[in-house]
Amino acid sequence: MTAMEFSARPPRRGINLEKWGWIYMRASGVVLIVLIFGHLFMNLMVGDGVKAIDFGFVGGKWADPFWQWWDVLMLWLALIHGANGMRTIVNDYTNPGVVQKVLKGALFAAAAALIVLGTLVVFTFEPCPVGAPADLLPSFCAA
Amino acid sequence: MSTTTLEQPPAAEAAIQSFTVTFLIRRFDPDVDTEPRWQDFDVEMYATDRVLDALHKIKWEQDGSLTFRRSCAHGICGSDAMRINGRNRLACKTLIKDLDISKPIYVEAIKGLPLEKDLIVDMEPFFASYREVQPFLIAGSAPVAGKERVQSVAERAIFDDTTKCILCAACTSSCPVFWTDGQYFGPAAIVNAHRFIFDSRDEGSQTRLDILNDKEGVWRCRTTFNCTEACPRGIEVTKAIAEVKQAIMRGKP
């Protein structure tokens, strides 16, 4: 019997994105539980509940750096979490090739576009647009 | 009680009830078929017979062309893993009484490996993954002359579960990630790596952890527990994979 071949794949050392992807999913998942349930609690249960949500409510929240960062953090973590999850599904259900590349490219583009747009909106939101009726605006807007 | 047994006439043995069991077997003859086809066989069986006995009866009495692997026929060699009623089991450990014989019993080859004939698949990709994790003791030092390498009972217990593997491929071929492109190392290779990674006498753990920290390594595990459920040896496969993940994150066993 001839000698067997061992370890055709050279072992890789150092950074492995799959490992960090796996850790990210668990870490972001834990943080997202707090962020999302906090978000739902603040928006749907405190005060007038769901009826309170209008332009003024959202404008008021996004005038506060605390809620800006809360929402931006939630946006980044959730979109990367979701896109990475979809990427593993693409890995599991398609064979390596053009289709897989296109699907992963589409996932990356969708997540990147939403993250950029969302971040831009949260930080550049104008809660008191000129000429809008005062009853629709947050209470702190000068009439 | 022993006297009653002795007084029983030998004819009582014939009174043991037998059943006609229908088997639907997924046949494939590469010389004739382009696609696998299902063929049914009626076999007279006792409740204590095994699926392997049914395959023998079919091969010996009905259709000699039925092809399957088996060696020891007692759950040790790991040759006769097959998909019985949609679950990976050893044919030699699956009793008729544990199956619902009011319906046909479906028997097919394990999935995810190239089908060669009837119930036989090409096991080479499976063993290639196994070889890649270097499943042998790596030690630079020699034991004290005339002695064995010392290991405490507690150190041995850490990897006891994964020493039970018989390489039947029931776990790997039940893994939906392995089914996709066959690139994933698969549960069996990780179990056998686990057996040496956590062995206090072994010095090659780092190499094996690096190998399993690959793109197709432990991170492709989705913890579906199919492997744990399929293992005929009762190895907690998913737990072993999780322990290897933890070891990779720690950077040491």
What does the pLDDT read at residue B18? Answer: 93
Whether B61 shows a pLDDT value over 80: the answer reads yes
Question: Are B51 and B105 in contact, with CB atoms under 8 Å apart?
Answer: yes
Query: Which residues in chain B are closer than 8 Å to A91, comparing Cβ atoms?
Result: 180, 220
- Mean pLDDT over B88-95 rounds to 96
Asked whether this complex has an ipTM greater than 0.90, the answer is no
Q: What is the pLDDT along chain A (143 residues), one digit of tens a residue?
A: 566 555 545 555 556 788 999 999 999 999 999 999 999 999 998 888 888 888 888 988 999 999 999 999 999 999 999 999 999 999 888 888 999 999 999 999 999 999 999 999 999 988 888 878 878 888 888 75
Please give the Cα distance from B54 to B61 (Å, whole number).
10
Query: Which residues in chain A are closer than 8 Å to B219, comparing Cβ atoms?
Result: 16, 18-19, 21-22
* B160-179 pLDDT tens trace: 999 999 999 999 999 999 99
- Mean pLDDT over B48-63 rounds to 97
Whether B253 shows a pLDDT value over 90: the answer reads no
* Residue B185 confidence class, pLDDT cut points 50, 70, 90: very high
| A20-24, B132-136, B213-217: segment of lowest average pLDDT | B213-217
Residue B177 at interface with chain A, using a CB cutoff of 8 Å: yes
* Residue B43 confidence class, pLDDT cut points 50, 70, 90: very high
Between A and B, how many CB-CB pairs are < 8 A? 51
Whether B192 shows a pLDDT value over 90: the answer reads yes
Task: Please judge whether B219 and A22 are an interchain contact, meaning their C-beta atoms are less than 8 angstroms apart.
Answer: yes
Task: Please judge whether B215 and A16 are an interchain contact, meaning their C-beta atoms are less than 8 angstroms apart.
Answer: yes
Task: Please judge whether A7 and B132 are an interchain contact, meaning their C-beta atoms are less than 8 angstroms apart.
Answer: yes
Please give the Cα distance from B196 to B2 (Å, whole number).
50
- Mean pLDDT over B151-159 rounds to 96
